[in-house]
Amino acid sequence: MFTQFFGNYLLNSGLVSPEKLSDALGRLSETKLRLGVLAINAGIMTAEQVDKVHAEQQKVDKRIGELMVDMGYATEEQIEKLLKTQPSAHLLLGQTLVNDGVMTNSQFENALNSYKKEMGISDADLEDSDLGDFRPLVDKFYNFDNADNKSYLTGYIVLLFKNLVRFIGTDFAPLSAKALLDNISRSCMGQEIHGGVKALTLIDADDDSLIEFASRFSGEHLTANDDFTRDCINEFLNLHNGLFAVNLSNETGLEIELSPQIVYNDINLDTIKNSHVIPVCFSFGTINFIISI
Amino acid sequence: MSDTTKKLKILICDDSALVRKQLSNILSDIGDFEISFAENGNAAVTKYAEILPDLSFMDIVMPEKSGIDALKDIISLNPSAKVVMASSIGTQGNLKTAIECGAFDFIQKPVDKSAVEKIINKIM
């Protein structure tokens, strides 16, 4: 999940456009990590040194690792260790953007270091975040300090991202939360939670994004925003809310119930209290999760 | 199953067309069954009485009548009915209620083939 939040940081820093980011996120599996990016990430070399090594490689017929050692930037042991490194998704994102000419090695290095510093993330935290413990990232990113039910809201969103990764894909970046300032004219699928915790979640997006979201969830090739597509969106919502209920029941003993999902038309602020819009930018479009809890 | 064996009648009750399709596909992979469908709790009770299935899969969160209420109605029709609750909301409370109401078993969604196979093996 660090990758998704780091992608948002690149977006907010103006280093990448939403289109370039979405495109890169959709192609991570095609990208091969270069030794230079791994060396920068490990703090062994600076971007400037990596650029010098690349420039030198144009002149001599040597492998990049050999040159790094020859030029005194790294030891053979360090190169061997780097070559065994499993590619982290955030590095693949950086490499893809560098390959695409969207950023330089130096911009990637600065952005990665600034983000880690701003978020207070160590390299060990970073590994944990990629493995699953990313609640601190969500806490810091959304800063729901003034929100009612902050703990439930954060827990709900952490699970949402896990379920997006599990059922839809990793090619997304969360966008900053915003208050629901305007009424939503499009129809949204929604589901209410009641009992120990009261909540309402709506899913809003344009037709093409909904169709792709539903296609991925169902494993079907869907081509229209019809009843079946809406049914798939509803089932994702039902599954997510059900898993939230199970976690809540196991962790706190609180029992909640779900209402059948329904279509909401002409949503207005009066009907949704304490709502937060959580936009998620996928490679195929943006899905808005409107959450009131 | 051999051709001479009577096909098991299985009723799938879920308001989601996707889940009905996925569960039906899983069952078709496992064996040759006579599969029927219901889209809500009321339809589930009506269909149950009509076809008297050997096994039913029942969602909990459904419009018109919940799966738990449909389970109660089905058990009152046939106390030995085999109804498996298949739901995303497998909380301790729901598990307890389902068992108390006579559910045969409980499957947490998303439903996978191995969980369905275990159920089928239990009744065959």
Closest residue in B to A244 (Cα–Cα):
B89
- The predicted-structure confidence for A206-217, as pLDDT tens digits, reads as follows 999 999 999 999
Q: Which residue of A has its CA nearest to B63?
A: A260
Q: Compute the distance between CA of residue B117 and CA of residue A71 in angstroms, rounded to an integer.
A: 61
Q: Give A216 or B92, the one with higher predicted confidence.
A: A216
Asked if the Cβ–Cβ distance from B110 to A239 is below 8 Å, we say yes
Task: Determine contact, residues A198/A245, Cβ cutoff 8 Å.
Answer: no
Distance CA B113, CA B124 (A): 16
Task: Kindly state the average pLDDT of the residues A269-287.
Answer: 81
Count CB pairs under 8 A between chains A and B: 59
Residue among A132, A131, A113, A163 nearest A278 (CA): A163
Which residues contact residue A166 at a Cβ distance below 8 angstroms, ignoring those fewer than 6 apart? none
Contact A214, A167 (CB under 8 A): no
Question: For residue B27, which amino acid is it?
Answer: L
Residue B2 pLDDT: 47
The answer to whether A58 touches A48, Cβ cutoff 8 Å, is no
Task: Say if B99 is an interface residue toward chain A (CB within 8 Å).
Answer: no
Checking phi first, is residue B52 left (phi over 0); if not, alpha (psi -120 to 50) or beta?
A: left
Tens-digit pLDDT profile for residues A58-81: 888 888 899 999 999 999 999 998
Residue B18 has pLDDT above 50, yes or no: yes
- Predicted structure pTM score: 0.82
Work out the minimum CA distance from A160 to partner chain B, whole angstroms.
14
Distance CA A263, CA A230 (A): 9
Single-letter amino acid code for the residue at A274: N
* Predicted confidence (pLDDT) per residue in A128-178, tens digit: 555 556 787 888 888 787 777 888 899 999 999 999 989 998 888 888 877
The two tokens of residue B124 are 């065959």
**Most A-contacting residue of B16, B18, B65, B92 (CB-CB within 10 A), to test interface:** B18
Model confidence over B49-81: pLDDT tens digits?
999 999 999 999 999 999 999 999 999 999 999
CA A102/CA A11 separation, integer angstroms: 12
Domains of chain A: 2-131 (no CATH), 147-292 (3.40.1550.10)
At residue A29, does pLDDT exceed 90?
A: no
| Window A:189-248, CB contacts with B under 8 Å | 218, 220, 227-228, 231-232, 234-235, 238-239, 241-243, 245-246, 248
How much is the average pLDDT of A249-256? Answer: 88
pLDDT at A8: 87
Contact (CB<8Å) B61/A260: yes
Q: How far is A185 from chain B (nearest CA, A)?
A: 25
Q: Is B15 touching A (CB cutoff 8 A)?
A: yes
CATH class of B9-123: alpha beta
